[in-house]
Amino acid sequence: MSHSDSSLTRRNFIGTAAAFGAAAATGTGCMTAAKPGAGSAARSAKRIKLGISSYSYWHFRDPKVSIETVIDKTARLGVEGVDILHRQMDAEDNGYLQKLKRHAFTNGVDLICLSIHQDFVDPDPAVRQRNIEHTEKCIELAYKMGIPSIRLNSGRWGTVKSFNKLMELRGKEPILPGYTLDDGFKWCIDSIEKCLPKAAECGVMLALENHWGLTRTPEGLLRIVNAIDSPWLGLLMDTGNFLEDPYKKLEMVAAKADFVQAKTYYGGGEWYTLDLDYQRVADILRKANYTGYISLEFEGKAPADEGVAKSIDLFRSVFS
């Protein structure tokens, strides 16, 4: 199957499932032929929904903001979804997971993504296996909370130990001595493929982000996504992780995007600041016919409540 066919497989999979659900809701048990013009009307009724990443309120510094608090703040802003940062959760036991699910439901908020960390770029098979098992565990966590997707990382070489130093280097790091770029991609692709049966079993999409490491470039991200033919592997487009010439690179991946995380930097960025033109980003997504969630990742130094509110106002003005 060609690369473009693989992308269509994912999109057709989602669209077919939604259409089947709509048919079932009519009580007919099967789909009937649409009336002329009905399809275009349905397409025009689609709209982008907004979400807020819990990371927007906690940049890995104490005090940690609880997920329940993020849900409360999201509901007060009238935003539809919360994207949970796994490392921000207080626990992983089922009681806590169900408490979060209930809290979201009673506040009219959807839990839309579980953003996790893992690293498949390691020459040691045992290390890669531990990261596969961690990913499978997180798929189970998402399933128990009713979350339909997890944020997936490729991983990186680890030759730059400090994240602050990595940011000074604009995300670029040397390849591990004795290995090649092809080695890294093979490790990553093989590891993701081993996670797919659990994703399919639980109905949780793996959304691979343009993050650091192998997916720092659109070419690297697409190399992995195009190599795997599965409706359970999607692409997560992060607007803030292409540090140079971002619009050209966002255009390269937007057509395959299944989820979007959008960064803002009010008060100046924690590690860097991008002056993103979100009207231009919105135009890129419209051209790609994107109608999924856009999850805010506020990464500025302004007070979180201020930065998040400004960001949501901005997003409503350009994405509506």
pTM (predicted TM-score) = 0.84
Q: How far apart are CA 10 and CA 196, in angstroms?
A: 13
Among candidate residues 296, 306, 291, the one with its CA nearest the CA of residue 276:
296
183-219 pLDDT, tens digit each: 999 999 999 999 999 999 999 999 999 988 999 999 9
pLDDT value of position 166: 81
pLDDT value of position 46: 67
Residues of the chain with pLDDT under 70: 1-46
pLDDT value of position 99: 98
Among candidate residues 114, 181, 179, 126, the one with its CA nearest the CA of residue 154:
181
pLDDT value of position 320: 83
Q: Which H/E stretch holds residue 209?
A: strand 205-209
Q: Which residues partner with 207 through β-bridges?
A: 151, 234
Neighbours of 276 (CB within 10 A): 18
Q: How far apart are CA 138 and CA 114, in angstroms?
A: 8
pLDDT value of position 45: 52
Task: Give start and end residues of each alpha helix (H) in 60-93.
Answer: 67-76
Q: Which H/E stretch holds residue 50?
A: strand 49-53
What are 88's two structure tokens?
């921000």
pLDDT value of position 158: 85
pLDDT value of position 14: 41
68-125 pLDDT, tens digit each: 999 999 999 999 999 999 999 999 999 999 999 999 999 999 999 999 999 999 999 9
